[in-house]
Homo-oligomer: A and B are copies of this chain.
Amino acid sequence: MNKIVQCVPNISEGKDLDKINYIIEPLKNQDGFKLISAEPDKDYNRTVITLLGDPEKMIIPLINFFQRALDKIDMRTHHGEHPRMGAVDVTPFIPISNITIEECVEYAKSLADHVSYMYQIPVFLYAKAATNPSRINLPDIRKGEFEGMKEKIQDPLWKPDYGKPMIHETFGVTAIGARIPLIAYNIDLSTADEKIASTIAKAIRASSGGFQHIQAGPAFLEEKGFVQVTMNILDFKKNPIYRILETVRMEAKRYHVEVKNSEVVGLIPKDALLDSIKYYQQVLGIPFDKNMSIEDITRFSIEYLQIRDFDSLKIIEANL
């Protein structure tokens, strides 16, 4: 069986579509992996690129992609809403199937070694690839951004994992790492009262004592006229979707508020949905088939988790 990872490089260019297309060219029509999407954001002045497939096959195209970003992006003149420290700002490898997180760390190191050696770009390993605890969280590495990195990188505490302790003049620095897939998941409530969404978010999120792999907050959807509990599920094995959804439903009851729908932003691994379908089918006494088709996974997810605006292509494995 093929090793499958999701790889999501972010580049510091979100406005000039010609430039973006030139930079991502080496990632198109390659053997062994697919370019799923490139989503530029003008306000952020940043593009999020999603690759899916065999990491072995991604390394050389990614090296070429780094070279093109180096050629076309000058961080000295870059402005945008999103914090950033390099032309390619961050590149995570995310295990999807037939691959461990440890193997993803090795691919991250291999890419880091090549780009630092070939282009004199200093690289910080982050997340599961981090070489010390202060480098696990990307925002800690990125603090000070491109402008502050010239000085920060000379601090022995911030010596890069690859390359010399000096920034690349136009490229800056980059972070490469491995992390488990996170799910961007939102739950719609039958109220416009943001306080209720905020109180419920506090009940479930790690930073207020709730589930350890949940980041959550309130959001008011002005056009739709209701609030959401908006969240990242950082580890869906330990904090499965159904558990979060049912806890939110239980908390909402005290306000006589209902869960209207839920929403998955971006891609979601098949297993995250299967784990929750299994819960509901066990409760309902329906035999659970872990080999069900992508179509069935899609249908049951919509039925049990009340996911709106959902289709099979939102499931990572449907894109393979």
Contacts and interface: CB of A to CB of B under 8 A. Distances in A.
Interface in A86-103: none
B209 A213 contact: yes
A206 B206 CA distance: 10
B209 A209 contact: no
A213 B279 CA distance: 25
A120 B209 CA distance: 40
B254 A250 contact: no
A254 B283 contact: yes
Copies of this chain, tallied across the complex: 2
Given A243-B203, A250-B246, A238 B208 contact: yes
A196 to B, nearest CB: 12
A253 B208 contact: no
A212 B213 contact: no
Q: Which residue of A247, A254, A255 has the most chain B CB atoms within 10 A of its CB atom?
A: A254
Interface of A: 203, 206, 208-213, 235, 238-239, 243, 246-247, 250-251, 253-256, 279, 282-283, 285
19 contacts: A203-B243, A208-B238, A209-B211, A209-B238, A209-B239, A210-B211, A210-B238, A210-B239, A211-B211, A212-B212, A243-B250, A246-B247, A246-B250, A247-B247, A250-B250, A253-B282, A253-B283, A254-B279, A256-B285
Given A203-B243, A209-B235, A254-B279, 11 more contacts: A206-B212, A208-B238, A209-B238, A209-B239, A210-B211, A210-B212, A243-B250, A243-B251, A246-B250, A253-B282, A254-B282
